[in-house]
Amino acid sequence: MSETEISTLGEFGLIDRLTRDFTPSQPSTVVGVGDDCAVLRHSDMETLVTTDLLLEGIHFDLTYTPLRHLGYKAIVVNLSDVVAMNGTPRQVTVSVGVSKRFTVEHLDELYAGIRLACKHYDVDLVGGDTSASVTGLIISVTCVGDAPRGTVVRRNGARDTDLICVSGDLGAAYMGLQLLERERKVAAEVQDEQFEPDFAGKEYIIERQLKPEARIDVLDELRQVGITPTAMIDVSDGLSSELLHICKASGVGCRVYEDRIPIDYQTALMAEELNMNLVTAAMNGGEDYELLFTVPLVQHELVQQLKTARLIGRITKPELGAVLETRDGNEISIKAQGWNAFTAGNMSN
């Protein structure tokens, strides 16, 4: 495949090429890509806006992250924030900074993933920016969503005796990252261009790391059974960190039961293979993008009907603190040990 230097197209030529196949589908999108600003129209809805910055070497490693997957993930992690507030994502803007080692074809791949995510979640790309970079690839995505007035769910609504629920399973994305890092190091050691990484039987955890999904389906089920969460957050930095965010914002404590934390079989096998503590991975791993939410105790029977989420604990009085009850009945204080982009270890990646 021939490669085209970005400079041959220029900034506006590049933007035209990357965004030519994005056609607005949302009624609230009045003006999309191609003008000085996007124009959005809302009436009796509350607007939700979130943004994320992804930096090469900090948030992703292109050694094992395909650009198409990266584009998809960059969109999903933003949509997930809107979903976590009980909203519906509608539009995104995407800005990229690229160094000279990237070609037009590289960006075609990145935007193919962006396009796929936008199509899958029925979201419009309505703007963005492109720039040169001296530090590799930089991606900034902003998502705009909405929710009917009075239906937005924040982190501060949890109350004593509320039930704590989480969707899907936890720790898989972290274990997928550990596997990818292990195979990267092996490849560097053998220095063999024919080296093939060993992912057999571990496809699920790889996908959870490289191609996460925003759990809009969970919101759909909650609405179907008649549950409106009192507090909600997405699990991006790890279950422990997200629990503490809700406890701090709501002025409460919590008790979570180790034997109720949902963990996939492949996650457990990978933890055993790497001699890692499985519960630690599930509590602190991050990047699962599942939904953690609280529900009034009186809706316990409705919670039992959920297929996309399960009960893992309860909200308590603030003086009781945040506690993980182990299988053998011991109590461990929950600490925020999840992802932190400013820790020394992360900054050196």
Among residues 155, 152, 314, 153, the alpha carbon closest in space to that of 250 is found at: 155
**Per-residue b/e over 108-136, b at no fewer than 16 CB within 10 Å?**
ebbbbbbbbbbeebebbbbbbebeebeeb
pLDDT at 218 over 70: yes
CATH superfamily membership of 6-148? PurM-like, N-terminal domain (3.30.1330.10)
Query: What torsion, rounded to 10 degrees, do the Cα atoms 176, 178, 180, 186 define?
Result: -150
Supply 109's token pair: 């791949």
CB 96 within 8 A of CB 128: yes
Question: What ranges in 20-103 are assigned the alpha helix state H?
Answer: 67-83
13 band by pLDDT with thresholds 50, 70 and 90: low
Q: Is 266 exposed, middle or buried (0-12, 13-18, 19+ CB in 10 A)?
A: buried
The reply to whether domains 6-148 and 163-341 share a CATH topology is no
| Predicted TM-score of the model (pTM) | 0.87
What's the CATH number of domain 163-341, 3.90.650.10, 3.40.1190.20, 3.40.50.360, 1.10.1270.20?
3.90.650.10
Please name which of 78, 200, 88 lies closest in space to residue 147, comparing C-alpha atoms.
88
Q: Are 261 and 279 in contact (CB under 8 A)?
A: yes
> How do the residues of the chain divide into helix, strand and coil, expressed in percent and rounded to 5?
35, 25, 40
Orientation of helix 67-83 relative to helix 104-120, angle to 10°:
40
Helix (H) or strand (E) holding 204: helix 203-210
Longest CA–CA separation in the chain, Å: 65
Residues 39-64 have pLDDT tens digits of 566 777 888 888 898 999 989 999 99
Per-chain mean pLDDT for the chain: 88
Confidence of residue 36 (pLDDT cuts 50, 70, 90): very low
Q: 98 - beta bridge partners?
A: 132
**CA-to-CA distance for 55 and 59, rounded, in angstroms?**
5
Q: How far apart are CA 323 and CA 333, in angstroms?
A: 5
> Kindly report the CA angle at 245 between 240 and 250, in degrees rounded to 5?
130
pLDDT in tens, 63-122: 999 999 999 999 999 999 999 999 999 999 999 999 999 999 999 999 999 999 999 999
Q: Is the pLDDT of residue 174 over 50?
A: yes
- pLDDT, tens only, 322-337: 999 999 999 999 987 6
Q: Are 118 and 86 in contact (CB under 8 A)?
A: no
The CA-CA-CA angle for residues 24, 82, 321, to 5°, reads 175
For the chain, which residues make up each domain, given as ranges? 6-148, 163-341
pLDDT band at 16 (very low <50, low <70, confident <90, very high): confident
